[in-house]
């Protein structure tokens, strides 16, 4: 069952959300958005037909009381003062829209729309993913030419039970017309590892050009000597693979968690795939603990690279901070004997370096690890690289690690 994507703007000035003239003037002043029609329906609110670049949407906007449910998690860092101000707000603005098949673009466009309506916001409640997003992050993302990471479309929620059992399940994928994902019978030791697995399968579902149906194989990475071939199984069938009384049974589910939700399982062999023989992910727990390698799609690698380069000025700012450590990931062409195909840009090893100096159009960096597929370069080597070769970066301060996605913190 597909859901509407609902974002609730938490404003700095509550008058800006109850006075339609204010937020409509804001919207029409944004040059990247063209309003093509409006209609008001007393039972619903204000319908606005608009274009973001050449993409057409019909959104529903209406003032509403702000109540932050206890299950809403903080998607970004907030100071105590910011949280107090957010919790004091009584009136917000609900902005609803339907997503088409280009989910990341739709999400980015909704971010741009809410930012245009109320530029001076404190935060946004993204209802489908059950996250509170920083107003500073919204403003930065709205100006970007690069879509936010796929993880913003969903949240993986962990519910703990007696004896350390953990039930993981996603929220947010239904707005993309997909089923939600679950992981049953995790525990306090493994749930972070299982979180990564469920997150990576959600990425594959979002990026796929065709719907990934339950039972389809999804190749998300390597664990030990095995390719991790995951799939989705209806929870009513999957619960039989786990001990009686495991969390996620019928007694633990409300209506929302009973429909369009599937448990992640895996196929151990190609024969298992042919015979639809499922095995719990826990069969790989020992290998998962030992440095698994998850696949990044070309699409996601390209998105990360473009965002890293777009926000290079924030890397420069972080590098200049006292007691900070700046690192960059550089995409270097592998030695030709390791190529798969003929395109050098598709045959790169992405390696982390410590930044030693940043110039106008390049940086000096020291290799932090030995490469696997490139001879003639080793850990400790210091070389100069152009900004075009950067595929990611991080700034480590005393308090936190900051990357391109949360560069607003700098």
What tens digit of pLDDT does each residue of 209-266 get? 999 999 999 999 988 888 899 999 999 999 999 999 899 999 999 988 889 999 999 9
* pLDDT tens-digit series, residues 266-287: 999 999 999 999 999 999 999 8
Angle subtended at Cα 257 by Cα 251 and Cα 259, rounded to the nearest 5 degrees: 110
For 7, 121, 130, 387, the CA distances from 410, given in Å and listed in that order, are 25, 19, 25, 19
Cα angle for residues 5, 11, 14 (degrees, 5° grid)? 120
Q: Which two tokens stand for residue 385?
A: 């690289």
pTM of the predicted model as reported, rounded to 2 decimal places: 0.93
Q: Do the beta carbons of residue 283 and residue 202 sit within 8 Å?
A: no
CA 276/CA 216 separation, integer angstroms? 9
> Would the pLDDT of 298 be above 90?
no
Question: Could you tell me which residues are beta bridge partners of residue 349?
Answer: 332
Query: Of 27-31, 315-319, 371-375, which gets the smallest average pLDDT?
Result: 371-375
**Residue in 123, 154, 128 with CA at minimum distance from that of residue 138:** 123
Which residues in 188-291 belong to E strands, given as ranges?
A: 218-223, 226-234, 261-267, 279-280
Structure tokens at 348: 């790169």
Rounded CA-CA distance 41/24 in Å is: 16
């Amino acid at each position: 069952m597909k859901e509407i994507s609902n974002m609730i703007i938490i404003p700095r000035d509550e008058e800006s959300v109850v006075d339609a003239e204010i937020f409509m003037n804001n919207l029409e002043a944004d040059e990247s958005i063209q309003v093509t029609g409006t209609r008001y329906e007393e039972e619903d609110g204000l319908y606005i037909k608009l274009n973001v670049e050449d993409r057409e949407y019909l959104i529903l906007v209406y003032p509403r009381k702000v109540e932050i449910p206890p299950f809403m998690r903080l998607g970004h860092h907030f100071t105590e003062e910011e949280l107090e101000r957010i919790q004091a707000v009584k009136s917000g603005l609900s902005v609803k829209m339907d997503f088409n098949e280009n989910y990341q673009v739709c999400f980015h466009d909704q971010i741009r729309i809410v930012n245009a309506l109320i530029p001076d916001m404190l935060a946004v409640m993204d209802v489908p993913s059950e996250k509170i997003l920083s107003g500073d992050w919204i403003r930065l993302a709205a100006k970007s030419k690069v879509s936010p990471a796929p993880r913003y479309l969903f949240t993986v929620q962990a519910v703990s039970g007696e004896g350390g059992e953990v039930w993981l399940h996603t929220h947010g994928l239904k707005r993309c017309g997909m089923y939600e994902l679950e992981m049953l019978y995790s525990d306090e030791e493994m749930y972070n590892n299982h979180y990564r697995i469920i997150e990576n399968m959600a990425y594959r579902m979002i990026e796929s050009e065709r719907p990934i149906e339950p039972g389809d194989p999804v190749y998300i990475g390597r664990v030990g000597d095995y390719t991790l071939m995951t799939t989705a199984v209806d929870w009513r069938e999957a619960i039989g693979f786990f001990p009686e009384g495991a969390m996620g049974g019928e007694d633990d589910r409300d209506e929302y968690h009973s429909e369009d939700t599937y448990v992640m399982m895996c196929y151990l062999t190609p024969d298992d795939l042919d015979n639809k023989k499922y095995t719990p992910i826990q069969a790989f727990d020992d290998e998962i603990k030992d440095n698994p390698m998850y696949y990044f799609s070309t699409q996601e690698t390209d998105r990360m690279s473009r965002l890293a380069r777009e926000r290079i000025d924030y890397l420069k700012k972080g590098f200049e901070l006292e007691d900070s450590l700046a690192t960059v990931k550089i995409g270097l062409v592998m030695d030709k004997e390791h190529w798969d195909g003929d395109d050098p840009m598709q045959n790169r090893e992405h390696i982390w370096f410590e930044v030693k100096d940043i110039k106008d159009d390049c940086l000096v960096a020291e290799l932090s690890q030995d490469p696997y597929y490139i001879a003639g370069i080793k850990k400790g080597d210091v070389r100069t690289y152009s900004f075009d070769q950067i595929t990611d970066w991080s700034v480590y301060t005393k308090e936190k690690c900051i990357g391109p996605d949360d560069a607003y913190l700098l």
